[in-house]
């Protein structure tokens, strides 16, 4: 309800600060943010770093119950959607961008380790583009994946020779 009031009556310049303050207050009352109210406030304030912090907690909980792959996958999905939303409204949250690089590289590494270097390369390139090519670690990862990309071996055509027994002596061992 409070977020609705802030949305309706706050001045544009006050809106992010009020949303952040509400998110902080919700976290003080419920440190686990069990219903996700604080993260919604941080998202409304375009505070990717705080939203990501809460998503990381959730991913850690998921990793305990469903495996680390599950937690990381959900985290990557949330980060990717929020990152796209920030781009749509021309918000550039450098703290958020720096924070998510490690998650992107972890995800790409996991894919490569699972025997999917093709998918790892595809994701790494997408992440690289979304970050504007500014991260050296991710750029190096893309270069390494491109270098190890499996290229099909050239096809060698050999003439098949048919031998119908002409000119060769048949041997009979049974009889």
pLDDT tens for residues 42-61?
Answer: 999 999 999 999 999 988 88
For the entire predicted model, the pTM comes to 0.72
pLDDT-derived band at 20, boundaries 50, 70, 90: very high
Q: Please say if the pLDDT value at position 164 is more than 60.
A: no
Distances in Å between the Cα of 131 and the Cα atoms of 50, 73, 75, 111 are 19, 19, 17, 19
Answer yes or no: is pLDDT of 67 > 90: no
DSSP state for residue 15 in the 8-state scheme: H
Question: Is residue 75 pLDDT above 60, yes or no?
Answer: yes
- 97 vs 46: CA distance, rounded Å: 12
């Amino acid at each position: 309800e409070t977020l609705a009031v802030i949305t309706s009556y706050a001045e544009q310049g006050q809106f992010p600060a009020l949303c952040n303050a509400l998110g902080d207050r919700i976290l003080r009352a419920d440190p686990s943010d069990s219903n996700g109210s604080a993260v919604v406030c941080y998202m409304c304030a375009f505070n990717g770093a705080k939203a990501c912090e809460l998503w990381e907690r959730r991913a850690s909980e998921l990793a305990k119950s469903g495996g680390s792959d599950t937690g990381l996958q959900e985290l990557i999905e949330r980060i990717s959607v929020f990152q796209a939303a920030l781009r749509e409204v021309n918000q550039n949250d450098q703290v958020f961008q720096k924070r998510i690089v490690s998650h992107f590289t972890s995800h790409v590494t996991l894919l490569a380790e699972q025997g999917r270097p093709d998918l790892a390369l595809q994701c790494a390139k997408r992440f690289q583009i979304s970050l504007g090519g500014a991260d050296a670690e991710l750029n190096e990862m893309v270069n390494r994946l491109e270098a190890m990309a499996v290229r099909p071996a050239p096809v060698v055509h050999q003439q098949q020779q048919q031998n119908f027994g002409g000119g060769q002596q048949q041997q009979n061992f049974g009889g």
